[in-house]
Structure 1
């Protein structure tokens, strides 16, 4: 096995200033060439363990769906390999009016898959539709600061903001804020996506595969492979078997044991630290988790390192709420930095549960590999404190449905991290955040801190603000943060050009070639 570990030191240096620099910048232009490349041909087969549960980018939370839709849809901004904000569909932008207006200039000659040109009217329609509660867009909170959207000419979009928003440009890079054609309906794209990305939708066979074709008109240059197929394979061990047999050429794994087994047969494994975080989500709006001492008891009764070592072979690090290098939380700053079962029992007794209690908990099977092992270890640890974690294992799609509906008391989850803390948690832990129902917790103090974080351009002040956010989340045991792990990219012989990213994005599949 050719094992490479990727951690760009420049990411750590740049993340502290990247978002702020983008906010105060007078303009920005693309650093990449728009010249059209030529495809090397062939089909790149990507091994996938779960069928994407939606083709609507505004509603995608499942990792498999997000990775697929990144290939089909374009966003106004993008993140480069160091997670800095760079141009996407907007080739440049400029702030004005004390950072309360943002003017974006769209690229010329960008087309949707159906051949229609991208214009400012499409951007205006997309943002306004995302903001409507009826759309149920999962990233609606990211554009909450956008008061109005104007389209003075086909290539110009003007956002008027309620206040300066330091995280907006980074937030616009998520596929959850993809630009859709103004005439496309949710019903239409659920059957046939119509985006501006490097690949176009070809076909889908439920439970088997989704096939894409290289977009010859893509503004960033034609992808190097002619076709891209996401093939559904039951588990990660079978995915590796497919790679070794030549039926699959590319896969991402999150099971370190399976990654180790990928040795040999000419496979290359690249290990990349991830911003994603493993967490036991607690819904404090449901009894008995509505009692702070119950939540704190759960937090104090858990040895995070044991969960990491048991479920993920120690491949990762114990984490607090914020995983972005520039704002990383100190996991030792929580109420119980080490496991304290006696304190957990005392807290339970004080909350009226001296004889113990039961917490129904949902767990996904298929979306990521370590979920069930995490749940079982948590169950064993909490039992010693008198807490019965009643595990309900669900297929990935069913889990996501219940998760989005906040139909759970507790949930073992793997959530995607983002380079900016506002984009990461503003939608969860503010009272008006569109995923606050899922988070199950908010407070006036958090509302004020998140508002201050958006409006502040000074990196040091933002770091201080988000340190307070992390402390409030931990002190109130909003959730129980466990660990951040690694992502593993596995490629077969002859596959070249893919650059993994710490946010788990597969946006660089367009650069892959087959020899």
Structure 2
């Protein structure tokens, strides 16, 4: 396989000037910014994904497959370039006030939604107000939690008032969970007929089979190099490789390194890319025996993370701490048991009054990503040696997401998306006010204070120190058990060209991909 350098060997060239400075950028522009109103291309690309998106409403999308589809349909105020620098999106520039408590955004002129209606400041206010509204249950509400007011200055100008300076705000606005929607649309409408400003227009959907898009000829930037794009649902990665070999599909992102090696051996082009996403055993500290920190620490000490990585992903990745954002990366050795220590694990269990053992009910997704069941079985075997029983419940992807969102689990084997800014990664999880704190299952006054400080601090070195403290607190309390980061493997036939993989797993570069049918 063709691998880009791993972060351990070379480091990722991400965030020229860390995300901490993103808010301070004035009159932002980018050499990669597309020319407006380009002509759309030709050719149809069929891309395989392993699960049918569980929603087409961008504000509630947590499933990787749903996010990958929706980021090709919807636009965001800012966006990331290939190296995850924050660059203009639907906002062509932004200007912070001197004290950092206001940001004025200048919107692009002439942008339209796919239904032909104009995008303007009213749509921005509508979108941001509803995302912040608790009744919406938007998964990224906390990502823009610093926004207290959205004022329409004129049709192309919006001023955001903040409760305090927010170093991560502009990076958070680049996520499709904060997509800009038309003020005329409802969640019910968009779950059946998506209407965005992105490079591709929704055409139709056959449940559990395919979602078809076509190029948006009125896209504000460089129009897609493809005339149409189909996401075809093929649940098994081995079957995806067969479809690539037969030419039924031309593109796929694989998670299983063994399948990726098989694909490359059959003549398919495979490129491995290290990811910011992280594998974890997510513990819900509000449930059952996990309310006792000693039980959680016992589990942490009983696990050899490298063994999980080697068993589930052939060693293709790195053992990780909580924060994978390159400018803020956690030290995986800075934890109570950096190496597996069964004696220490048993001491913690005895301290919890559970020397005879404990059972933890654990949900596992089958279909969301390829290594989940192998990870779960290895964790189960390792923990059993310490007297800890993982009672595994394997669920199909949609049922797993439903249980996860409802925090209906004691533990969950999870693959969570990483982000360039650590507030975007965890600001919605671990502060007590985070809209996904119920899912995280852990908070503390110390974390609340640290997260608030991390958002409000603009100095990059100071922010790094703050997030080091956050990481240490999470590890010392075994809020979750962080395991490893891994690769994704972009598999293409020889008819495909021009796709650039990204470390955040985005498929936004399908808009610059070509195919010779």
TM-score (norm 2): 0.97
Q: Distance in 1 between matches of 2:16 and 2:44?
A: 39
Residue 7 of structure 1: how far off its partner (Å):
5.8
Q: Give the secondary structure class of the aligned counterpart of 2:510.
A: helix
CA change 1:265–1:386 in 2 (3 A) is closer
Question: In structure 1, what is the equivalent of residue 59 of structure 2?
Answer: 58
Question: In structure 2, what is the equivalent of residue 3 of structure 1?
Answer: 2
Q: Distance in 2 between matches of 1:24 and 1:444?
A: 29
User: Structure 1, residues 296-343: CA drift from partner, whole Å, max 9, x if none?
Assistant: 000000000000000000000000000111111111110000001111
Residue 210 of structure 1: how far off its partner (Å):
0.4
CA change 1:270–1:14 in 2 (3 A) is closer
Residue 420 of structure 1: how far off its partner (Å):
0.4
Residue 206 of structure 1: how far off its partner (Å):
0.5
User: Structure 1, residues 369-406: CA drift from partner, whole Å, max 9, x if none?
Assistant: 00000000000000000000000000000000000000
Q: Give the secondary structure class of the aligned counterpart of 1:125.
A: helix
User: Please, what is the CA RMSD of the aligned residues?
Assistant: 1.4
Q: Distance in 1 between matches of 2:327 and 2:3?
A: 24
Residue 39 of structure 1: how far off its partner (Å):
3.6
Q: Distance in 1 between matches of 2:16 and 2:37?
A: 34
Q: Distance in 2 between matches of 1:128 and 1:329?
A: 34
Q: Give the secondary structure class of the aligned counterpart of 1:129.
A: helix
Contact 2:276 2:324 in 1 (8 A): yes
Q: Distance in 2 between matches of 1:226 and 1:13?
A: 32
Residue 165 of structure 1: how far off its partner (Å):
0.1
Question: In structure 2, what is the equivalent of residue 21 of structure 1?
Answer: 21
Q: Give the secondary structure class of the aligned counterpart of 1:348.
A: helix
Q: Give the secondary structure class of the aligned counterpart of 2:231.
A: strand
Question: In structure 2, what is the equivalent of residue 135 of structure 1?
Answer: 136
Contact 2:168 2:424 in 1 (8 A): yes
Which runs of no fewer than 5 residues in structure 2 stay unpaired? none
What does 1:86-235 correspond to in 2, within 5 Å? Answer: 86-235=87-236
CA change 1:431–1:292 in 2 (3 A) is same
Contact 2:28 2:92 in 1 (8 A): yes
Q: Distance in 1 between matches of 2:11 and 2:88?
A: 18
Residue 246 of structure 1: how far off its partner (Å):
0.5
**Deviating more after overlay: 349-358 vs 376-385:** 349-358
Q: Give the secondary structure class of the aligned counterpart of 2:499.
A: coil
Residue 87 of structure 1: how far off its partner (Å):
0.3
Contact 1:23 1:166 in 2 (8 A): yes
Residue 221 of structure 1: how far off its partner (Å):
2.0
Question: In structure 1, what is the equivalent of residue 74 of structure 2?
Answer: 73
CA change 1:269–1:377 in 2 (3 A) is same
Q: Distance in 2 between matches of 1:63 and 1:326?
A: 24
Q: Give the secondary structure class of the aligned counterpart of 2:505.
A: coil
Contact 1:83 1:419 in 2 (8 A): yes
What does 1:340-355 correspond to in 2, within 5 Å? Answer: 340-355=341-356
Residue 349 of structure 1: how far off its partner (Å):
1.1
Contact 2:41 2:223 in 1 (8 A): no
Question: In structure 2, what is the equivalent of residue 43 of structure 1?
Answer: 44
Contact 2:2 2:272 in 1 (8 A): yes
Q: Give the secondary structure class of the aligned counterpart of 1:457.
A: coil
Say if 2:471 is the partner of 1:470: yes
Which runs of no fewer than 5 residues in structure 1 stay unpaired? none
Q: Give the secondary structure class of the aligned counterpart of 1:288.
A: helix
Q: Distance in 1 between matches of 2:10 and 2:185?
A: 40
Question: In structure 2, what is the equivalent of residue 480 of structure 1?
Answer: 481
Task: Give the number of aligned pairs.
Answer: 514
Q: Distance in 2 between matches of 1:129 and 1:421?
A: 24
Q: Give the secondary structure class of the aligned counterpart of 2:226.
A: coil
Contact 1:277 1:482 in 2 (8 A): yes
Question: In structure 2, what is the equivalent of residue 84 of structure 1?
Answer: 85
Residue 263 of structure 1: how far off its partner (Å):
1.7
Q: Distance in 2 between matches of 1:177 and 1:14?
A: 21
Q: Give the secondary structure class of the aligned counterpart of 2:214.
A: strand
What does 1:264-303 correspond to in 2, within 5 Å? Answer: 264-303=265-304
**Deviating more after overlay: 310-319 vs 26-35:** 26-35
